[in-house]
Structure 1
Amino acid sequence: MRLFELSTTEATAIRDSLEKYKLKQWGFVIFRCTYKSQEKWNRFIGLIKEHASDYFEWRRMENVHDRMAWTIIEDAAALEGASLATTAQKFAEWADGPEGRQDREGSVFDDADVLPVYGPRYTIFLHADERSLESVMDDAKAREDGGYFCTVVRAGMALAAERERERQEEGDEQAEELEDEEEELLDVRKRVKIDKLVLLYAFVLDTNTWYNIYVEDGVAEI
C-alpha cells in the first residue's frame, strides 16, 4: 500500500490529447548530433527511456507509455556537430515527409496540405549534442549545467531565427547585437532535465506555453 499517490495530471493530459486529436502515438523525435562515443549515446538514450518508463509505471498508467514513440534520427555525415537550424530543417522535412505523414495518419492533423502547428510531437524535438551527453556521463559537468539535461528545440522558432540571420547577411546589414543572446535563444531552445521530459510534453500540449517555461541557471524548471 502506498503512503501517498503520485499526481497523474500530466499523464492524463497526454492520454486525453491522443483521444482528442485521434493520434496513434506521442513522444519525441531525437536528432543525434554527436558520434564520438557509442557508450555515451547508449547511456543517454537509456536513461531518457528509463525515466519515462518509470514515470508511467509508478502511476500505473503504462497504457499511455505504450503509445510513446522515440523517433531517433542518426546520420553521422550530416548531423555531426549540426546547428539548431540544421536539425530544425531536417525535423520539418521529417514532419512533412512520408514518415511524418504516416505518423499522424488518421489524426486530425492528417492533411496533405497542412503541416501541424499544434502538438509537441510536430513542433519540438530533441537536439542531442556532445554537451548533453557529457551532462549524463560527467557528474561534475552535470552539476555545472544544473543536472542531467537534453536540449529541446522549437523548430519553427529556430527556422525563423535562421531566416532572419540570412536576411541580414544578404542585405549586407550589420546584425543587431542582442542585449542578452542567451535570453534570446530561450525562444528557440531550452535545456530540460531528462527526468522532466514527460512533464515538458504535457506542459506544451498547448504549444504557446513554450514561452512560459521558467529557466533557472540555464535549465528549464518544469
Structure 2
Amino acid sequence: MRQLEALLSRLARDRAALQRPVDISPRTPNTISTKFNAADKIERQLRVDGHRNWGFVVYRCTYTSDSAWELCVQRINASIRKTMSFYNGHDLLEEGCFKFTVIADASMLDRVTTQAVRRHFTEWCARMVHEEQGSREEIESRRQEASPWDWRLPLRYRFCIQVDEASLQSVISEDGEGWVKVIKGDWESTEATRQQQQQHETGPEMMAEDEGEFTEDEDDEEYPAVEECTEEDVGWVKVQLNVMLGFYVNQRDPNLWHITYRRPPDVVRE
C-alpha cells in the first residue's frame, strides 16, 4: 500500500512538473518569469557566449577627490548587488564570475570626452577578451546554440561606463537620483558613416568635386550639440543607477538601444 501511495505521489509530482509553464524562473518562481529575470538573462548569455565571467568596465574620468570616488564605487556596487538580490542572482556575483573593472589614469582620462573613452575601450577589449575568457578554442568549446542576435560581442565588450564629475556628484548625493554614463562601444556618427560610404562609392577625387553640392541628407534635423555632436543619437546615455543593470542586460537585443535611448541631458529612469 505504501509503495502504491509513493508511486501515485511521484506521478502527481511528475505531472505537475510537466504542466508547469516553461517560462517560470527557478530564481523567482512566484514573482518574475525567466524572460524578465535579469540574473537568468545573464546566465543564458554566458552559456551562449561560452564566457566564464561578466561585469562592468568603469572609467574614472574625475580626480577631484579620492574619498568621493571610493564612495561612488561603493554605491555603484551596492546598487548592482541590490538589483541582483531582487532577482535572486547572488551566485552570479561570486568571485570568478562577476568582474567590476575600474580603469583609472589621471594623466590620460581626467575630464576626457566619451569619444576618448570609447577609443580606449575599443583597444582594451581587443586585448582583454581572450585574456579574461580564454582562447577562441576554449570559448567555442563552452558555447551553446545562439539566437539570431548573439553574433555580436558580449555586453562586457560592447558597453562601458564613464563616471565624470557631474556623474560622481549625482551618485554620492543623497537625493537618490544618481546616474552614470553608459557608452556604446561600436557607435559611429551618421555623418562619419555617410562620408565613408561616399568615399568608398566615389573615391576621394569625386568627393572633392561634389563638395558643396546639396544632397537630400543635408537637411537632416540638427539637435543641440552634445560634445560637438548634433545628431539625435550621440552614442551614450545617462542611466539612473537603480536601473543601470537592467538597462545594460537588455542591450543584448540590438533593437533595444533605439527604444530605450534618451538623448542627453535626459536620463534613462526605467
| Within-5 A mapping of 1:19-30 | 19-30=47-58
Q: Retained in 2: the 8 A contact 1:120–1:207?
A: no
1:33–1:127: 8 Å Cα contact kept in structure 2?
Answer: yes
Which is higher, the Rg of structure 1 or of structure 2? Answer: 2
Q: CA deviation at 1:10?
A: 1.6
State the match for 1:113 in structure 2.
none
Shift of 1:193: 0.9
Identity among equivalent positions (%) equals 22
CA distance in 2: counterparts of 1:198 and 1:148, whole angstroms: 14
2:146 equivalent to 1:101: no
Aligned-residue offset at 1:206: 2.0
Higher RCO (Cα < 8 Å, 6 or more apart): 1
Separation in structure 1 between the aligned mates of residue 153 and residue 110 of structure 2, nearest angstrom: 29
* Residue aligning to 1:221: 269
Paired position in structure 2 for 1:180: 223
Match of 1:93, SS state, is helix
1:153 to partner: Cα distance: 0.5
- Aligned-pair CA distance for 1:186: 3.7
Q: Does 1:81 align with 2:111?
A: yes
How far 1:137 moved relative to its partner?
Answer: 2.8
Query: How many aligned positions are there?
Result: 202
Measure how far apart 1:108 and its partner are: 4.4
Q: Structure 2: 5+ residue runs without aligned partners?
A: 1-28, 143-150, 197-206, 213-217
Query: RMSD over aligned Cα, in angstroms?
Result: 3.3
Q: Residues 135 and 149 of structure 1 are in contact (CA less than 8 Å); yes or no, is this contact kept in structure 2? A: yes
Runs of 4+ residues over 4 Å off in structure 1: 171-174
Structure 1 length normalisation: TM-score? Answer: 0.77
Segments of structure 1 that go 5 or more residues without pairing to the other structure are 111-115
> 1:150 pairs with 168, 180, 196, which one?
180
SS in 2 for 1:156: coil
Provide the secondary structure at the position in 2 that maps to 1:107.
helix
Aligned residue for 2:74?
46
Tell me the CA shift for residue 88 of structure 1.
0.4
The change in CA–CA distance for 1:38 and 1:5 in structure 2 (over 3 A counts) is: farther
User: 1:127, CA displacement in angstroms?
Assistant: 1.1
Q: Which amino acid aligns with 1:202?
A: V
Distance 1:214 1:92, change over 3 A: closer
